[in-house]
Amino acid sequence: MDRLDNTIRPYAWGSVTAIPRLLGTEPTGEPQAEMWMGAHPGAPSRTARGTLADVIDADPRGTLGTPAVERFGPRLPFLLKILAAGAPVSLQVHPDLPQAQRGHAREDRLGIPLDAPHRTYKDANHKPELICALTPFEGLCGFREPTATADLLTRLGVDSLKPYADMLRAHPPEAALREALTAFLTADRAEIAATVAEAAQACDRLARYEDPATGNPTGPTGSASGTPAPGPASAYAAYASLAHHYPGDPGVLAAMLLHHVRLQPGEALFLGAGVPHTYLQGLGVEIMANSDNVLRCGLTPKHIDVPELLRVVRFEAADPGILRPEASPDGEEVYDTPIDEFRLSRLVHPEGAVPATLTADTPQIVMCTVGTVTLHGEGPDETLAPGASVFVPAGEKTRLTGAGTVFRATVVI
């Protein structure tokens, strides 16, 4: 197995303290947003034998196993991350596989460099992903029923939001969501900035009046009509916070179309293609297909391609569905998803327990998040503290001892 030395990405929305706290290091004073574990060309993990990409390229079948190579090609199919949001991540969606292949080929034909700011498709792969909370975690994910969002906008009491509330009530759900998102993202910037400011003030007022038992706004100022507002007051606080971080950004209004989600440690969200989402705050383990394709809807100074975005978004109102792990016969807890490129599981190993067998016919990355564990393989043992990780090639006989919690990333064959 190969111990991994991983790159930390300093995106502006990252927490200054969360990743250093996990690793037991001193904060640098700069945001630390994501720690990447894998072989993505943007920031491949380093090993004593070169980058992990180099190690795999030198012997794809030996490291990944023949079944994985035949199924996914000679590359690691997933990318594992620690994600630490200290401020809202850009509101975004990811393409499905055919969309990514077409988009990447089109931008190649146009001669757009891979590192160009206006390049949308960095690779030809899709990017389904799973986020599992390590701390209380907050985000927005998936479209709410349009009529419920219309009620939410109406309760804000902002006159310039009335046309958007009306359009959400006037059409079937798919058409209503498409029309509303299009209208938000193509509106006159000055006019929409004024609407965002008024909406933020109204959200801030509603968020101050919360019933601790229900989380709903209370009292005569709790809503414009005097009736309970849809969803917890914390959702209004979240929208007000977005406007604070991104004043005048139409993405704030686009975000109001989405469910507000709060995860407790161990709970997770699966995000398929075309599902709009943003993470607001918290520390989590994130796993995805090995891609960096992102189409942004707002809450960012980066490039937004509205026509392409509208082709990729799936205008479906649905409950985001909080995932909880399912126990497997070997004692692991598995997060079940419909994706074969990755499988994430968690193992809580108590002191004195029988060594856990981690041998698999597929490639693995094993990362510790709590305590101290030791992996015993065919070479030298590797002891992992929180934040440390190793790559285990397919077929290597591996056991785990010690007391701690590890996450194991692999593929489904």
Report, in angstroms and rounded to the nearest whole number, the Rg of the chain calculated over CA atoms.
22
Choosing from 296, 343, 346, 408, the catalytic residue is 296
3-state secondary structure of 112: coil
Task: Clarify whether 21 is annotated catalytic.
Answer: no
Locate 144 and state its tokens. 């709410």
Q: What 8-state DSSP symbol labels residue 15?
A: B
First to last CA, the chain: 21
Q: How far apart are CA 375 and CA 237, in angstroms?
A: 44
CA pair distance 186, 165, nearest whole angstrom:
17
H-helix segments, 156-246 = 162-170, 173-186, 189-207, 233-245
In angstroms, rounded to a whole number, what is the distance separating the alpha carbons of residues 47 and 386? 18
Evaluate whether 294 touches 312 at the Cβ level (below 8 Å).
no
Calpha distance 181→235 (Å, rounded): 19
Question: How far, CA to CA in Å, does 217 sit from each of 155, 210, 263?
Answer: 11, 4, 21
* Nearest one of 82, 89, 38 to 285, comparing CA atoms: 82
Residues involved in catalysis = 296
